[in-house]
Amino acid sequence: MKQFFAELLRDKTGRVGLAGVLAVVVVAVFAPLIATHDPLEMSDFLRQAPGAGFLLGTDEFGRDVFSRLVYGARVSVYVGLVATGIGAIGGLALGLAAGYYGGVVDNVIMRLMDVLFAFPSILLALAIVAVLGPDLGNTIIAIGIVRIPVFTRTVRAEVLSVKAQEYITSVRSIGVKDGRVILRHVLPNVMAPFIVQTTLSLSSAILVEASLSFLGLGIQPPNPSWGSMLSESRRIMELAPWTAIAPTVAIILAILSFNLLGDGVRDILDPKLKNVE
């Protein structure tokens, strides 16, 4: 673990990514301390340009853009982590089962994944949110479900290659129970690509969340999220460009940081993937 972080810090990509991710997380966690205003409070200053009173100006309702941005980080980080968690755990379980048991189990799971995979991810998330109703929790569930197939495929492929190795055959041949074989022998070998996939998934989850809130699904007004801030700004962005630029920059920097961290982690844990997209 210690060595992992040392390597991550030695890598320029990983270092920048880690710094960016930490920054976003810190902002999210300490949002009440960092924000200069109440993000929901409508002041009398409408579409105020950035300046001393309002660091990044105000939006059409006179709300402080900077403070909304700060609270928006909470949504991104929260959705990113929880949705990836759902996708990762769901995919891990399904991938282990499909890869380890093979046969019918494998077929049923993988066909199901094919079905899920056949949807463009935003459309799928959209449909799920439409079914469950637009709110933060449902957005998270939708994004989580959308991520499941990726994890299932990664884990299954790894399980298959581990299973083909002789030591697993020999462990099974001496009568060790399935659950124990999976837990003690298969799982540890699957961990590296799994962690890589998890890190890389964080940025996708944040991206889908921003897209959904941009489309008006996801977290509901007046609560701030970067996607909905950008969407709302479109009505007034010629008069108040800062309302569009601020959330755009925040989204790009956050996703970039998570991507860089993902690349860094991949280079360390899965060197054979290096250079391969």
Partner 1 sequence: MRTYILRRLALFIPVLFGISLAVFILLHMIPGDAVDLMMGIEGNPELRQQLLKQYGMDYPWYAQYWNWISGVLRGDFGVSMRTGLPVLPEIVSRFKVTLMLTVYSSVISWIIAIPLGVVAAVKRNTWVDGGARVFALIWVSVPNFALGTMLLLVLSLVFQYYPPLEYTPFFASPLGNLGSLIWPSLVLGAIMAGSVMRMTRSALLENLQQDYIRTVRAKGATERVVIGRHALKNSLLPIVTIIGMQVGSLLGGTVVTEQIFSLPGLGLYTLTGINQRDYPVVQGSILFFAFIFVIINLIVDVIYSWIDPRISYR
- Minimum distance, C-beta of residue 217 to partner 1, in the bound complex (Å): 9
Q: Which of 92, 230, 246, 261 binds partner 1 (CB under 8 A)?
A: 230
Rounded to the nearest 5°, which phi and psi values hold at 119?
A: -90, 140
> Which stretch of DSSP H or E encloses residue 195?
helix 187-214
Q: Is 87 in the site for partner 1 (CB under 8 A)?
A: no
CA 56 to CA 48: how far, in whole Å? 9
20 with 253: CB under 8 angstroms?
Answer: yes
Residue from the set 128, 186, 202, 205 that interacts with partner 1 by CB under 8 A: 128
- List C-alpha distances in Å: 89 to 4, 20, 125, 202: 22, 25, 18, 14
Shortest Cβ 123–partner 1 spacing (Å): 5
Task: Pick one of 215, 220, 222, 270: the residue that binds partner 1 (CB under 8 A).
Answer: 215
Comparing CB distances to partner 1, the nearer of 203 and 223 is: 203
Q: What are phi and psi of 58, to 5 degrees?
A: -125, 160
Cβ 136 to partner 1 shortest distance, Å: 17
Closest by alpha carbon to 136, among 215, 202, 219?
Answer: 219
Stretch that binds partner 1, among 48-56, 68-76, 159-167, 239-247 (CB under 8 A): 239-247
Paired tokens of 166 = 């002789």
CA distance 14 to 8: 5
Our finding on whether 255 is near partner 1 (CB under 8 A) is yes
- Residues of this chain, 152-211, that bind partner 1 according to CB under 8 A: 203, 207, 210-211
Residue pair 116/148 in contact (Cβ under 8 Å)? The answer is yes
By the rule CB under 8 A, 252 interacts with partner 1? yes
Could you give the CA distance from residue 14 to residue 138 in angstroms, rounded to a whole number? Answer: 32
Q: Contact between 138 and partner 1 (CB under 8 A)?
A: no
219 binds partner 1 (CB under 8 A): no
Query: Interface with partner 1 by CB under 8 A: which range of 22-30, 45-53, 79-87, 254-262?
Result: 254-262
Q: Which 107-126 residues touch partner 1, going by CB under 8 A?
A: 111-112, 114-115, 118-124, 126
Per rule CB under 8 A, count of chain residues that contact partner 1: 45
Tell the residue number behind the tokens 């890589």, with chain if given: 196
Closest distance of CB 162 from partner 1, Å: 24
Burial annotation 72-102 (CB, 10 A radius, 16+ → b, else e): bbbbbbbbbbbbbbbbbebbbebbbbbbbee
Minimum Å gap between C-beta 213 and partner 1 is 10
| Interface residue with partner 1, options 74, 82, 259, 266 (CB under 8 A) | 259
Residue 64, φ and ψ in degrees, nearest 5:
-75, 120
Binding site residues, partner 1, CB under 8 A: 111-112, 114-115, 118-124, 126-128, 130-131, 133, 203, 207, 210-211, 214-215, 227, 230-231, 233-234, 237-238, 241, 244-245, 247-248, 251-252, 255-256, 259-260, 263, 275-277
